[in-house]
Structures are given as structure tokens and as C-alpha cells.
Amino acid sequence: MLNKKLKLLIKSRSKKIKKNNILCIGDLILDNYQLGRVNRISPEAPVPILSYQNERKEIGGAGNVAKNIVSLGGIVTLVSILGIDNASKSIENLIKAEKSIKFKAVKNKRYITPLKSRFIDGAKQLLRVDKEKENNFSRNDQIKFLNICEKEINFDLYKKYKSEYAPDSFHHVAFKTQNYDAMVEFYEKLFGCKPMYKSNDIAFLAFDEEHHRIAIANTEPGIKKLGIISKIILAFRNWLNKNIPTTIGLDHISYSLNPIDKWFDFYHKAKDRGLEPYWTINHGWITGMYYKDPDGNLVELFFEHWTNDEEYKNEISARGFPEEPVGTNMDIDILYQMYKNGESLKNLTKKGNTVPEGKKPVAGIQAAINMRKKFK
Ligand SMILES: [Fe+2]
């Protein structure tokens, strides 16, 4: 009766469970089941002899709770403490097999991962052997643990976050340039923009139903009116900007182009118009190509690695940003060849997938510093 009521209650809450990422904090135990049959008693002492048939390992403690939540369709972030021993390795492997569990652990070699070995004769348990120790965590471990929990809770809050001051959407970018005609021509070419308004001083360009998506202001006429000293200072400043990497200011603007087919289509059509990306990188969760405008501003076009809401929910929304979100530089033509050969999306979006055998990908912040280097 209680079971029936419980089942109904769980069913009525299952939608809520599916919608939320549940934080599960607690001890992890490795449950080891030694399965066999007892057919005889030892002649030396009245001890049953278990004839071994096989064994099974399962995650116990908070791991079992996490697995139950997953079985109801939920997504779990499991935070715990592990030792560096055989039991912890088995636990990590078992959790890896659970797609909807994001696992974070503080590891300490002084910690003994609890192991419970059960010896089972058919359906009857003969003996349980516990390997565990009263563990005192150092202050450092406690801080690490709390930091992980805090980060996970913040990430969950962030996903549901919508500021009361939030704008509807991103709308347009505006550039200042002394390279007016070239800049206007570049954006007309890149996005097929139409100038909604264009004077000698400013152009408003649109690529969809909006009145403008890119504004370009011509600073050249204003500069002509300046005195010689101001002109020299400005020329020097512009020279510095162009020749020495800047360490402040806007890095790039970015647009999404999904799915991958549309992204390749954009690449080829832009190439036909004489435009090629300056930088191509697989960020590991999105893949981007970056075009450089005549003033050196970068414009990113990216496709996402998940193809639907469910995948998004299981990947970045539930698991958070990848540990290394910059990614690996890649060769777009090799990637296109792989795409034409029918490679799966999983392979097409794998980091370092266009690097020749025996070479290493240029990855992480090095990829952003050496944009043109595809491998090393
Ligand atoms: Fe970006």
C-alpha cells in the first residue's frame, strides 16, 4: 500500500525532477558483492565455504541516491570526497557510465574510500566486511569541498537567472574607422548587408528585418580638422593598436549559425566572395570561424555542438562549462572533408580532430595567442 502511494507521489513529481538539476552531497561507498553457492562446510571448522561464481560492484551511499534520481529522469551533480585507491577508481568508472551524473570530488590520499564487501549465497547474505576509517578532513579539504558546492549552486542559480534589467536581445555593433569604405564593403560582403542609411559620416547596415545591425562611423573627416600635434598622437596610437597586440578592449563579436550544414554553407559562400576566416577553432562546446575586418576586428560565426534542447540540458546546462573552454585550433577544409565523408557529429566536434597523426593540437590559451598555428 505504502509502495503504491509512494509510486504515485514520485510519478506526480517526476516532471519537477526532470526539470531540475539536483545537487547530491554525501559519502560514497563501493558495494562489492561476491556471489556464489555454499555446498559444503569446512572439515576443519564449522565454516561455510562459498564457491565463487561472480562478483558485482555498485556505488552506494550518496551515489545510490544519485542513481535513483537519474532513473526518474533527473540530472544530478554529485559532490563527495574520495581517496586515491582501488575503491575510488571503481567508483569513478561506475559514475562515468552514468550520463546524467556530473561528478565533482575532493581527492585525498589519506582518505580511505569506504568499501563494503558482501558474501552472498544465492539470495542469503553470509557476511559483510567493511573497510572504512573515521576520516578527519583537513581544513584545506573542507574549504575545497565547500567551494565546489558553492560553485555548483551558483551555476544552477545562474541557469535560471534572468535579470530584471535584461534587454530583449543583443542588437547591433558600432565601429569607428578611418577606413570607412573598406569597412562598409567588408560587412556588406560578409553578411550581404544593405546600407539602410549611408552618408559621408556614418552608415547603418542591416542583414535582416532590423533597421540596423552594424553601424560604421567615419572618423576621417573629423581628423582632417585636427591640429598637427593631435594628428601625430592619433597616428601613433593607431599604429600601436595595429602593430602591438592590445590587452584591453573588445576582442570579437559573435553570431551563431546552426546547424553545422548552415555553418559550412556560410564558409563556402563567403569564400566565393573572396572572404576567408582568419582563425578557426573548436572550442569543445561550440566551433567557431573568425573573420578579420579591414581594421582588424574579429567576427566569429559558430555552430553549437548539441543539436537539441535535451542534449543542451545534458551537456552545458547540466554539466557546466568544459574544464578547458578555449579548445584546439583546427583546419576547416579538413573538417569539411570529414563532414563530406559522412563522419558523425561526435567526431566532427571532437577536439584536435583535424590534426595530422604524430602532431599535437595547439590548445587552450596558446590557441588564442597563435591563431594561425593549426598544430605543433
Ligand atoms: Fe566568442
In whole angstroms, what is the distance from residue 280 CA to residue 287 CA? 8
C-alpha grid cell, residue 344: 558523425
CA of 195 to the centre of ligand 1 (A): 26
Question: Is 318 a residue whose pLDDT tops 80?
Answer: no
User: Tens digit of pLDDT for each residue in 5-42?
Assistant: 777 777 777 777 776 778 899 999 999 999 999 999 99
130-138: long-range contacts, CB 8 A cutoff, minimum separation 24 = 131/87, 135/81, 135/110, 135/111, 137/81, 137/108, 137/111, 138/108
- pLDDT value for 158: 60
Most confident of 150-164, 272-286, 309-323: 272-286
CA of 252 to the centre of ligand 1 (A): 7
CA of 35 to the centre of ligand 1 (A): 54
In whole angstroms, what is the distance from residue 357 CA to residue 351 CA? 14
User: Tens digit of pLDDT for each residue in 228-241?
Assistant: 999 999 999 888 88
CA of 4 to the centre of ligand 1 (A): 51
pTM of the model: 0.65
Q: How confident is the model at residue 313 (pLDDT cuts 50, 70, 90)?
A: low
Q: DSSP letters of 228-257?
A: HHHHHHHHHHHHHHHHS--SSS--EEEEE-
CA of 271 to the centre of ligand 1 (A): 21
- CB-based contact 73:34 (threshold 8 Å): no
Report CA torsion sign: 74, 75, 81, 85. positive
CA of 300 to the centre of ligand 1 (A): 6
Mean pLDDT calculated for residue range 80-97? 93
- pLDDT value for 264: 97
Residues belonging to the chain: 376
- pLDDT value for 343: 95
Give the domains, in start order, of the chain with CATH numbers. 8-159 (3.40.1190.20), 251-376 (no CATH)
Give, in order, the Cα–Cα distances in Å from 152 to each of 23, 144, 357. 8, 12, 38
Give, in order, the Cα–Cα distances in Å from 32 to each of 56, 57, 290. 6, 5, 52
Question: Is 2 a residue whose pLDDT tops 70?
Answer: no
In whole angstroms, what is the distance from residue 144 CA to residue 237 CA? 45
CA of 139 to the centre of ligand 1 (A): 38
204: left (phi over 0), alpha (psi -120 to 50) or beta: beta
C-alpha grid cell, residue 105: 570530488
Q: How confident is the model at residue 102 (pLDDT cuts 50, 70, 90)?
A: confident
CA of 290 to the centre of ligand 1 (A): 9
In whole angstroms, what is the distance from residue 264 CA to residue 335 CA? 10
CA of 246 to the centre of ligand 1 (A): 17
User: Tens digit of pLDDT for each residue in 246-270?
Assistant: 888 899 999 999 999 999 999 999 9
Question: Is 347 a residue whose pLDDT tops 90?
Answer: yes
CA of 166 to the centre of ligand 1 (A): 20
CA of 266 to the centre of ligand 1 (A): 17
Q: How confident is the model at residue 278 (pLDDT cuts 50, 70, 90)?
A: very high
Mean pLDDT calculated for residue range 39-56? 92
Of all residues in the chain, the percent with pLDDT exceeding 70 is: 94
- Give 375's DSSP letter: B
CA of 253 to the centre of ligand 1 (A): 7
CA of 21 to the centre of ligand 1 (A): 26
CA of 299 to the centre of ligand 1 (A): 9
User: Tens digit of pLDDT for each residue in 149-204?
Assistant: 887 777 666 666 677 888 888 999 999 999 999 999 999 999 999 889 999 999 99
